[in-house]
Amino acid sequence: MVPQLSILALTAGLAALASASPMQPKTGSFSVSQVANVNFRAHGPAQLAKTLSKYGVSIPDGLARNIANLDAARISVRTSGSAKTTPEQYDIQYLTPVDIGSPPQTLNLDFDSGSSDLWVFSSKMPSNSVQGQTIYDPSKSKTAKEVKGASWNITYGDKSTSKGVVYRDTVTVGNVTVQAQGVEAATQVSDQFTRDASNDGLLGLAFSGLNTVQPQQELTWFDNAVKSLDHPVWTADLKYHKAGTYDFGVINKSKYAGKISYVNANSTTGFWMFGMSGYSVGNSTFKPSPFQGIADTGTTLALIPSPIVQDYYKAVSGAKVDPFQGGYVFPCSARLPNFVLGIGQTKITIPGKYINYAPIDKSGKTCFGGLQSDDGVGFSIIGDVALKAAFVVFDATPAQPRLGWAQKRL
Which CATH number characterizes residue 178's domain? 2.40.70.10
Residues of the chain with pLDDT under 50: 1-25, 75-91
The answer to the question of residue 54 being in a domain is no
Q: What is the pLDDT of residues 114-133, one digit of tens each?
A: 999 999 999 999 998 898 89
- Tell me, yes or no, whether 266 and 395 share the same domain: yes
pLDDT for position 121? 95
Domain boundary among 237, 267, 300: 237
- Tell me, yes or no, whether 226 and 266 share the same domain: no
pLDDT for position 11? 34
The answer to the question of residue 7 being in a domain is no
Domain boundary among 177, 206, 237: 237
- Tell me, yes or no, whether 231 and 146 share the same domain: yes
- Tell me, yes or no, whether 289 and 150 share the same domain: no
- Tell me, yes or no, whether 26 and 162 share the same domain: yes
The answer to the question of residue 247 being in a domain is no
Tally of domains in the chain: 2
- Tell me, yes or no, whether 170 and 123 share the same domain: yes
- Tell me, yes or no, whether 112 and 201 share the same domain: yes
Domain boundary among 237, 270, 297: 237
- Tell me, yes or no, whether 292 and 229 share the same domain: no
Domain limits at 330? 256-407
| β-bridge partners, 382 | 295, 302
Contact 405, 391 (CB under 8 A): yes
The answer to the question of residue 401 being in a domain is yes
Residues classed as catalytic: 112, 296
The answer to the question of residue 246 being in a domain is no
- Tell me, yes or no, whether 133 and 190 share the same domain: yes
pLDDT for position 278? 98
pLDDT for position 65? 84
The answer to the question of residue 196 being in a domain is yes
The answer to the question of residue 81 being in a domain is no
Q: What is the pLDDT of residues 68-80, one digit of tens each?
A: 776 655 544 333 3
The answer to the question of residue 86 being in a domain is no
pLDDT for position 357? 93
- Tell me, yes or no, whether 262 and 323 share the same domain: yes
